[in-house]
Structure 1
Amino acid sequence: MDLDLAQVRAFVLAAEELHFGRAAGHLSISQQALSKRIAALEARLGVRLLDRGGPGVRLTEAGARFLDPARRALAAGEQAAAAVVEAGRPLKVDVWGHLYAPMRTLAQVAARGERLDLELGHGRDLPSVSAALLHREIDAGFGRVHPPLDDGLAHRLVRLEPVDAVVSADHPLAAEPYLRPGQLRDSVLWIPGPLDRLDFLRHFADHFGIGRLAGGPNLGLDHFAAQIVAEPDCFSLFPADSPLPGVPGIRSIPLLEPTPLYAWSLLWRRDDTHRLLDSLLAAIADEGRRNRWVEYDPHRDWLP
């Protein structure tokens, strides 16, 4: 039986989203066109794959059996096409966690990696980048990975980056040469964005007993620094080797005993066959060894 992969893809997206509107949006087609593709597939197979009645969309028993082989068929089609058309295409990589400047690490890797042709973009957070990967809109993602993670994705730790406490020059602890995280219990942790997207800061607050949190939208580094300067009892966390914006009245203080480490990882689809993915992983490994990026001592460091 010859299957139309466009029809198979329409079914897989509808089965994953359980919503025709969202599935149609991923394909940039109308719901009516999506429904026609799935109906044609069902007619070809002679079975109903999706129940459309009631408040939502549900897989039938036949649809549940068909879903995993359908995914494999799409992956095989992607691999066949990639062998011909991807020879000159750059590796598409989305980054997230922009306040902590993920581009610095990728730029350092790309500068040493031979023939690394990367096309860099911006994702909002881990869920949005994961969705883009699963829908084959990008080839890889770079940021902080935390559970839950889809079984179709793989990741590798790239860098454990120490973070400092960033405070106003008027903060009571601003003159200290270094701080233990517990010394910040009486301060307010500034959260630059929704807390559910910044699980590192949430874990830090829970672990070290930071009871007072405040926040607002992430409007960039200058706004972040201005907020810290304007609130003398506030602090936030920032990569130790990343330059602060040139806002007067801001201080960066090392955190020791323990030093919090921010984990950066590369994320990709398990079935990805892009020719440059292995090259990127090799370049990351070389740069990591050269700069000791993944050193961790549980007696000295803290990881959530």
Structure 2
Amino acid sequence: MDLETVRTFVAVADAGRFQEAAAELAVTQQAVSKRIAALERTLGVRLFTRTARGAELTIDGQAFLTHARELTRVAERAVGSVRSGRRPLRVDVIASRGAATGLMRGFHRAHPETELDVVMLFDIETAVAAIRSGAIDASFRAVSVPGRPLPEDVESVRVLDEPLQLLTGPAHALAGARSVTVAQLAGHRIWMPGIVPGTEWAAYYDDLVAEFGLTIEATGPNFGSDALLDTIADTPALATFMGGQTRLVWPSGHGLRRIPVTSPTPVYPHSLLWHRDSPHPALSSLRAHLADSATAGHGAADTWTPGWALPR
């Protein structure tokens, strides 16, 4: 099967018009028509019906589209198997100041010869799609969220359990505590304006609330970590959760307190995701580095993670 005809079919299906697909592929509309006709002859079915609105997929075209996309992805990975070493290792992290970024900094110090391209995608669906398409080589995520198992061609391994800490201002009722138990947090307002429904971190905190009867508020716009720290510092009734390895700097006058949470300690389970056929030569080095050195807090006793989290 001619891969160019398959790519052309996908382009027309996505664009909905032969003319727009031709512009995207930088060929003539006549060339697009000929490629589609050749593919239809090969398959023995009609793939499109021309209408006033453009080109609509037939039932056979709809059935073929999923397989056509996979064919193009396989072709891209085949090309990448001999070319990927020419570009940096591209890794997705959730936030620039989070634990995953710290793990990547450690890898860079251990392997300065490896070029890195660190990106920040929004949620696990976006990250998995980017892994499968070859847009990125790996991602740090919490998996697997209920109802959203990983595709068979995406592999994962849990690399770090990050303990949560309570962050309060100086006038908060718990500000003087050296540690707090989860039970002591019941009745306190924990403000986290960055939780987006449907994301893996929303699933994590939903389960935390359900398990221990906590009150987490995600109201209000998310103006970033600086605005969050300002509000926590000035509002005695509010506290927030943060990862124990999250790097934050605030003005000395804020008087903020980072307080360990115990009995049990909620930990956020970071996993590394990658495509099982990923050709990038540096990916194996990253995985080996994480297996050797990125285990701080991993498997500690008296900790809590959601039941859906990837096993250790």
TM-score category of the 2 structures, normalised to the smaller one? 0.7 to 0.9
Shift of 1:81: 2.1
Give the count of matched residue pairs.
289
2:225 equivalent to 1:221: yes
The residue identity in structure 2 corresponding to 1:45 is L
Tell me, in whole angstroms, the C-alpha distance in 2 between the residues paired with 1:59 and 1:133: 30
Q: 1:302 to 1:246 in 2, by over 3 A?
A: same
The residue identity in structure 1 corresponding to 2:161 is L
> Which residue number in structure 2 is paired with residue 302 of structure 1?
304
Q: 1:293 to 1:214 in 2, by over 3 A?
A: closer
Superposed CA offset, 1:130-174 (max 9, x none)? 333333322222233343145143222111111111111111111
The residue identity in structure 1 corresponding to 2:59 is T
Q: 1:172 to 1:66 in 2, by over 3 A?
A: closer
> Which residue number in structure 2 is paired with residue 44 of structure 1?
38
Superposed CA offset, 1:78-131 (max 9, x none)? 244224432322111121145635311211122224643221122223233233
SS in 1 for 2:3: coil
TM-score of the two chains, using structure 1 as the length reference: 0.79
CA RMSD of aligned residues (A): 3.4
**1:78-227 pair list within 5 angstroms:** 78-98=76-96, 100-113=98-111, 115-147=113-145, 148-151=148-151, 152-196=153-197, 197=199, 198-199=201-202, 200-211=204-215, 213-227=217-231
Shift of 1:223: 1.7
Deviates more, 1:109-118 or 1:37-46: 37-46
Structure 2 unaligned regions, length at least 5: 307-312
Superposed CA offset, 1:38-84 (max 9, x none)? 75543112233356879x9666235425633x345334422442244
Structure 1 unaligned regions, length at least 5: none
**1:47-62 pair list within 5 angstroms:** 47-49=45-47, 60-61=59-60
SS in 1 for 2:249: coil
> Which residue number in structure 1 is paired with residue 310 of structure 2?
none
Tell me, in whole angstroms, the C-alpha distance in 2 between the residues paired with 1:38 and 1:268: 35
The structure whose Rg is larger is 2
Tell me, in whole angstroms, the C-alpha distance in 2 between the residues paired with 1:234 and 1:14: 53
Tell me, in whole angstroms, the C-alpha distance in 2 between the residues paired with 1:292 and 1:84: 35
Tell me, in whole angstroms, the C-alpha distance in 2 between the residues paired with 1:251 and 1:59: 62
On the 8 A contact 2:163/2:297 being kept in 1, the answer is no
**1:10-21 pair list within 5 angstroms:** 11-12=9-10, 20=15
2:272 equivalent to 1:270: no
Identity of aligned residues (%): 29
Q: 1:73 to 1:226 in 2, by over 3 A?
A: same
Deviates more, 1:186-195 or 1:144-153: 144-153
Shift of 1:212: 5.1
